[in-house]
Structure 1
Amino acid sequence: MGNTQAWPVLRTTDLSEALDLAEKLLSVTASYEPDGCYVDAWARDEDVLRQLTDRNPAARVAWYGEGQTGFPANVQLGVSSVAEARAALVSWADVTRCYLLWCHMLWPEVPELGIGEEYKYAELEVACNSHDIHCEEWAAEHTVFVHARQGDDERAAWLAAQVGARVVGPSEFGW
């Protein structure tokens, strides 16, 4: 049992740039399951909930308010391809803070650093309108995070370097 550590590798106001970098990072993986991805958002009122579900009617809603019937509500949409993930995130990014998370992936072995493959803690995330993985606070930028085993700073830096990026801030405790 454990949690990931998440390293930001890009902060940008251009959502397309963030999604392009995420797609490049997916090409670095040893493997990933295209349907091991979902888009997640919080709706804090009826208007936001309606906009999210109107834009993606297949989204699931889970209530977390009083008696698990009121706001906030968690809205989640499973996607099965990079194109579907991109479209879903773009459709929600102008409504609220949200994130796209790829899991069920395998970071490759990095023999020159003495690092083996990583499955358990391997994840990739694009947080829209936020600098943190949970999208708790609004920011004008979108952040791309690589998730890996705690203390795996070298892997995060190596992954970023493979796509012409770098770690751009301190890591944070993950999922």
Structure 2
Amino acid sequence: MSNDIAYPVFRSSDPVLALSKARRLVEFGRCEGVDVSLYAEFRSVDEALRGAKELPEGWFRAQEHDGEFDDRVPFEDRPAWLVGVRGEGLPTEPMVYEGRLPVDYELLYQAVDSVEGDFAAAIGSSAGEINWQHLCWPDAPEVGFHGESNHAEVTLLLNSSHRAYVEPADDHTVLVHVRSVDVDGRQMREPYAHWLAGQVGLTVIGPGQRC
């Protein structure tokens, strides 16, 4: 089973600009079956409640306390907002969120250009990402690479510079994904990522990232 690796190709403090750059890559690799998924970690009560209001169609899930439930408690017997609810199902009382942040959010497999702008505007200072998947990268014979679709993706990280959300950031990063081929610690398809970025006027600006 193969894995992907994602290279940063653009970074900006302006989410609108970063989204426009990501969309250029998406259009370059767009083919039938492309869709987009959204993910976020709302790190404050205010951000979570605002997200629930502005992005009601997604699924929200607050954190369980350590040891709160064991395997004998089925999901259907746990509070719904700890398992996953639409925006209107989140509690509005701030005190119930003590120890339950961040609130996770996801909305999967949406039509391209249907949700991205609203999400980027609503996320505020919380970390999240827009991920376009099922793209088709073309052949690049001049640099010796065949095209691919299994790992042809574009990600826009919001308020984070790494896919694992390890550190908050004040800017937003566009990543281009390719298949990972590691030979003696060297990524053999990294030049393909450089080529892809160059086709839309971008350039690789940092090392590859694994999730």
Band the TM-score falls in, shorter-chain normalisation: 0.7 to 0.9
Shift of 1:86: 2.0
Alpha-carbon distance in 1 for matches of 2:101, 2:203 = 38
Task: Name the aligned partner's letter for residue 121 of structure 2.
Answer: V
3-state SS of paired residue (1:119): coil
User: How well do the aligned residues superpose, as a CA RMSD in angstroms?
Assistant: 2.0
Task: List per-residue Cα deviations over 1:135-156 (Å, max 9, x = no partner).
Answer: 2311111100001111221111
Matches of 2:141 and 2:150, distance apart in 1: 19
CA offsets, 1:146-170, max 9 Å, x none? Answer: 0111122111101111111100111
Matched with 1:53 is: 52
Summarize the alignment of residues 25-174 of structure 1 with structure 2, pairs less than 5 Å apart: 25-29=25-29, 31=31, 33-34=33-34, 36-66=35-65, 67=69, 69=82, 70-78=100-108, 79-92=110-123, 94-150=124-180, 151=187, 152-174=189-211
> Taking every aligned residue pair, what percent have the same amino acid on both sides?
27
**Higher deviation after alignment, 159-168 or 133-142:** 133-142
Question: Deviation string for 1:109-132 (max 9, x for gaps)?
Answer: 112222112111111000011111
Q: Distance in 2 between matches of 1:87 and 1:43?
A: 15
> 2: distance between equivalents of 1:53 and 1:2?
36
Distance 1:30 1:39, change over 3 A: closer
The answer on whether the counterparts of 2:134 and 2:151 sit within 8 Å (CA) in structure 1 is no
Which 4+ stretches in 1 moved above 6 angstroms? none
Give the letter aligned to residue 87 of structure 1: D
3-state SS of 2:177 partner: strand
How many residue pairs are counted as aligned between the two chains? 172
Structure 1 residue 30: Cα displacement: 5.3
Q: Which has the larger radius of gyration?
A: 2
- Tell me if structure 2 keeps the 8 A contact 1:10–1:168: yes
**Partners of 2:125 and 2:160 in 1: how far apart?**
13
Unaligned runs of 5+ in 2: 70-77, 83-99, 181-186
Gaps of 5+ in 1: none
Task: Please give the secondary structure, in 1, of the residue aligned with 2:160.
Answer: coil
Are the counterparts in 1 of residues 42 and 105 from structure 2 also a CA contact under 8 Å? yes
After TM superposition, the score normalised by the length of structure 2 is: 0.74
Please tell me whether the aligned partners of residues 129 and 157 of structure 2 are also in contact (alpha carbons under 8 angstroms).
Answer: yes
Distance (whole Å) between structure 2 residues aligned to residue 2 and residue 71 of structure 1: 33
